[in-house]
């Protein structure tokens, strides 16, 4: 595997379910990000991890819980989501953060909350 | 505050040149990125500008004027595969969000 991978690619969950999104980067980067992309809205940065420490939490509801066990892996734990949370969730990595580093994105997880 | 403006949609002809503009208002500035995103795919990096002027990379060029809060992405010799959304993003170290994205410009290349 190369680049940034995400699983699952598609997820449908009910509002009472608990699920997790997984991201893995094979680029040797030390910063990882979660973004939310909704239709007709800009990419929204959710969380930033640098050297496995969370350096940014952009006022995201607590029903989204990130976890970064090491510099190559990033999880987003989901529970009691709302229909408006349906979106494409993108993971990215970069050489460092914060800083003007090019970010490499994964293919995303298309999440539908029913 | 932080605000990035781009046109929502543009259409251009195969083989032509198209310029996609981006204006920004941010508290701080530490670089501007352009990304390309095909429908259903992840964004991919195109260019990065931190100093004023033009950066050329093959068929794509990006220009920055920090005093005007303005950038453009220039695509030459358009190909059908260039049909995609183009995202402008500004690195603002002083804001709540370190990297602010515009809504993107959807470019359609027609024959």
Percent of chain B with pLDDT over 70: 96
pLDDT range class, residue B111, cuts 50, 70, 90: very high
Strands, DSSP E only, in chain A? 4-7, 10-13, 18-25, 31-37, 44-50, 53-57, 64-70, 73-79, 87-94, 104-105, 109-113
CB contact under 8 A, A105 and B42: yes
CB contact under 8 A, B98 and A48: yes
- Is A60 in CB contact (< 8 Å) with chain B? no
Nearest by CB to B101, which of A42, A100, A106?
Answer: A42
CB contact under 8 A, A105 and B31: no
- Give how far A17 is from chain B: nearest CA, Å: 25
Strands A10-13, A109-113: parallel, antiparallel or unpaired by DSSP? parallel
- Classify residue B67 by burial, with Cβ atoms within 10 Å: 0-12, 13-18, 19+: exposed
- Give how far B45 is from chain A: nearest CA, Å: 7
Sole residue written with tokens 């303005």: B70
Q: Give the pLDDT confidence score for residue B100 in this predicted structure.
A: 86
Q: Report the chain A residue with the minimal C-alpha distance to residue B32.
A: A100
pLDDT at A1 over 80: no
CB contact under 8 A, A104 and B45: yes
Q: How far is CA A108 from the centre of its chain?
A: 8
Q: How far apart are CA B35 and CA B37, in angstroms?
A: 7
Of A51, A44, A46, the closest CA to residue A95 belongs to A51
pLDDT in tens, A85-97: 999 999 999 987 6
Phi/psi at B100 (5° precision): -105, 125
Residue by residue, DSSP assigns B75-88 as: E-S--GGG-EEEEE
Interface of B with A (CB under 8 A): 4, 30-31, 33, 41-45, 48, 50, 87, 89, 91, 93, 96-104
Mean pLDDT of chain A: 90
- Give how far B49 is from chain A: nearest CA, Å: 10
Q: Report the chain A residue with the minimal C-alpha distance to residue B49.
A: A100
Mean pLDDT of chain B: 93
pLDDT in tens, B37-64: 998 888 999 999 999 999 998 999 999 9
pLDDT in tens, A38-79: 987 888 889 988 877 777 766 789 999 999 999 999 999 999
């Amino acid at each position: 595997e190369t680049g940034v991978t995400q699983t699952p690619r598609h997820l449908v969950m009910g509002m009472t379910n608990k699920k997790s999104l997984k991201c893995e980067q094979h680029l040797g980067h030390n910063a990882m990000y979660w973004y939310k992309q909704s239709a007709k809205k800009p990419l929204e940065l959710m969380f930033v991890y640098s050297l496995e420490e969370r350096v940014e939490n952009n006022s995201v509801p607590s029903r989204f819980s990130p976890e970064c066990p090491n510099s190559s892996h990033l999880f987003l734990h989901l529970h009691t989501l709302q229909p408006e949370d349906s979106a494409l969730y993108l993971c990215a990595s970069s050489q460092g953060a914060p800083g003007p580093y090019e970010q490499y994105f994964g293919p995303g997880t298309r999440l539908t909350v029913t | 505050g932080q605000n990035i403006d781009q046109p929502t949609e543009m259409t251009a002809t195969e083989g032509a040149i198209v310029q996609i503009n981006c204006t920004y208002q941010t508290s701080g500035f530490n670089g501007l990125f352009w990304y390309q995103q095909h429908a259903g795919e992840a964004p991919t990096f195109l260019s990065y500008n931190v100093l004023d002027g033009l950066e050329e990379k093959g068929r794509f060029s990006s220009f920055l004027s920090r005093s005007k809060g303005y950038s453009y992405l220039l695509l030459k010799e358009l190909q059908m595969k260039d049909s995609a959304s183009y995202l402008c993003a500004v690195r603002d170290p002083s804001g709540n969000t370190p990297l602010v994205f515009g809504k993107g410009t959807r470019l359609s290349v027609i024959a």
